[in-house]
Amino acid sequence: MYLRLPSKVLERILFFIDSNDDRNSVSLVCKSWFETERLTRKRVFVGNCYAVTPAAVVRRFPKMRSLTLKGKPHFADYNLVPDGWGGYAWPWIEALAAKNPLLEEIRLKRMVVTDECLEMIAASFKNFKSLVLTSCEGFSTDGIAAIASTCRSLRELELRECIVDDLGGDWLSYFPETSTSLVSLDFSCLDSEVKFSDLERLVSRCRNLKSLKLNRAVTLDGLESLLRRAPQLTELGTGSFSDELSPEALSKLSKAISACKQLKSLSGLWDVLPEYLPALYSVCPGLTSLNLSYATVRMTDLVDLLRRCKKLQKLWVMDLIEDKGLQAVATCCKELRELRVFPSEPDLEEPNVALTEQGLVFISEGCQKLESVLYFCVQFTNAALITIARNRPSIKRFRLCVIEPFAPDYKTQEPLDQGFKAIAMGCKDLQRLSVSGLLTDKAFEYIGKHAKNLGMLSIAFAGDSDLMLHHLLSGCKKLRKLEIRDCPFGDTALLENAWKLETMRSLWMSSCFVSFGACKLLSQKMPRLNVEVIDEMYPPETRPESSPVERIYIYRTLAGPRLDMPEFVWTIHKNPEIGVSHLAIK
């Protein structure tokens, strides 16, 4: 007997299902479930904007209200992807504007967004509520002004670490006097000063404003005034924290800060002067998130602040915190889930800071809920990694950057294989891993064998041979994203594990030994992969087949080779006779 769940009932059930993964699973059950699911999906996530065409997405999800897109490969953050590579938002905005006028939210990461895009958004979506751009570029403050002036129900406008052509601070003045809907405003990446009186008025009238992240041009006086008008804030990104303040002014500021009783998250704090930190003490007990990663203050000042933050869950800080500071954090911040430690002077041969592997060991001992780690350090030991893994099997994201490439365990001079083996074996829920230091193929054998939940792996300056890649591609069942730079292998492992690449979102390899011939073979073998070669000097076909290519980016796609490549990117054509196809957008 064939039972079918009525679609109305299924719709009701799906109403409660938000997660993309779950909805994706639902859509695979059968055709009617696919249909019901697609007609009810409101929030759509596309992890690689080239994996599928805008038209296909817009067609499939007619009720879409929110679209999240990611463009460039992650290594673009570190300047490994040349400008002009791609990741254009325009085709998506265009397609949405034509078919989906009720769209409310757009979230883009590492994409190129132009002023035209922003103007089109402002013009096309009457209910537009939320624009969040992370690490995007290509637009100017004029585009922001268009959004500000036209989107009547705008709730979120967040520019997170974008590269914006800053033509001045006028954009803020384009918010109409009648607009009161803002809940979140983040313009911390802009340089120019906005007209302060307009900012004040905006903040005053937006009674629902919960998150405000100012840019550096906002002074401490300004901050005080804004906080007085918005004590309901839960997230604050301060402006610069280093103006000269009289004692009265400082005390006024303290008062204004302490009035923010619901403040949970604090960031900004550029150039903070240590003598101003006490102004923050009043809100410390309630803070769950603190970003001190631009605060160049010493360990003792940091500790004085941090030991008051008993509820802290997320801490970003610089290595100025030193081992001792981390020991204090481990004692005081028992709720800590995420720690990121950035280098204050990454280029110096001998960093002048007493931050070693011991700091992270302390944290692993004291912070029972630790899940997520990003740690820059000059050198490390296997023993420390083993201890960390044993203390904290709960770790889900572990990114260790030993700053010196090829640095072995500095006590034993061995590779860090054993250490990362312990991490892979001990942290059973490990989803994301970045490795560094001296590593042989063995390390990757362990990772391939044990890191069963690993979704994303970043590797630099490691391994000996193709075995390394082979272990990973044949071992890590849930691998989605793999990015590798400066490792001495490529062809054999890649070709042998070609099938794996279709189960992954993408593979990036730069400065490795992948030959043009192998790229061609791979592309012919795997019809649903785009094998893109990035070479800024010559078309790959002018060089011998065995010569290595600069960079490759391989990703699965339903959309075929893309049409908007710049001159230095080639998609290997499926037809071997053609070699490479190269289509540039005009």
Give the footprint of other proteins on residues 144-203 (CB under 8 A).
161, 163, 165-169, 189, 191-193
Residues 36-75 within binding reach of other proteins (CB under 8 A): 75
DSSP code for 462: -
Nearer to other proteins, 366 or 408 (CB): 408
Contact status, residue 291 vs residue 268, Cβ threshold 8 Å: yes
Nearer to other proteins, 160 or 308 (CB): 160
Token pair 């590579």 is found at 85
Binding test (CB under 8 A) with other proteins, winner from 143, 325, 343, 455: 343
Nearer to other proteins, 179 or 511 (CB): 511
Residues 236-255 within binding reach of other proteins (CB under 8 A): 239-240, 242-244
Backbone angles phi, psi at 98, to 5 degrees: -70, -40
**Piece in contact with other proteins (CB under 8 A), picked from 52-60, 235-243, 253-261, 521-529:** 235-243
CB of 3 to other proteins, least distance (A): 53
Please report whether residue 349 would count as binding other proteins according to CB under 8 A. Answer: yes
Please report whether residue 135 would count as binding other proteins according to CB under 8 A. Answer: yes
Nearer to other proteins, 14 or 76 (CB): 76
Please report whether residue 270 would count as binding other proteins according to CB under 8 A. Answer: yes
Nearer to other proteins, 231 or 274 (CB): 274
Residue of 146, 143, 82, 73 whose CA lies nearest to 111: 73
| CA gap 381, 389 in Å, rounded | 13
Please report whether residue 342 would count as binding other proteins according to CB under 8 A. Answer: yes
| CA gap 175, 309 in Å, rounded | 36
Contact status, residue 46 vs residue 107, Cβ threshold 8 Å: no
Q: Return the C-alpha torsion angle 250, 254, 255, 257, nearest 10.
A: 130
CB of 144 to other proteins, least distance (A): 14
Residues 404-423 within binding reach of other proteins (CB under 8 A): 404-408, 410, 413, 415
Residues 470-489 within binding reach of other proteins (CB under 8 A): 485-486, 488-489
Residues 422-461 within binding reach of other proteins (CB under 8 A): 434, 438, 440-441, 458, 460-461
What sections of 81-140 are H helices per DSSP?
90-99, 115-124
For other proteins (CB under 8 A), the number of binding residues is 88
Residue of 469, 572, 559 whose CA lies nearest to 521: 572
Nearer to other proteins, 3 or 537 (CB): 537
Long-range contacts, 270-274 (Cβ 8 Å, 24+)? 270/216, 270/238, 270/239, 270/240, 270/241, 270/242, 270/294, 270/295, 271/240, 271/241, 271/242, 271/296, 272/241, 272/242, 272/296, 272/297, 273/241, 273/242, 273/297, 274/298, 274/301
Residue of 217, 210, 227 whose CA lies nearest to 279: 227
**Piece in contact with other proteins (CB under 8 A), picked from 32-40, 338-346, 356-364, 421-429:** 338-346
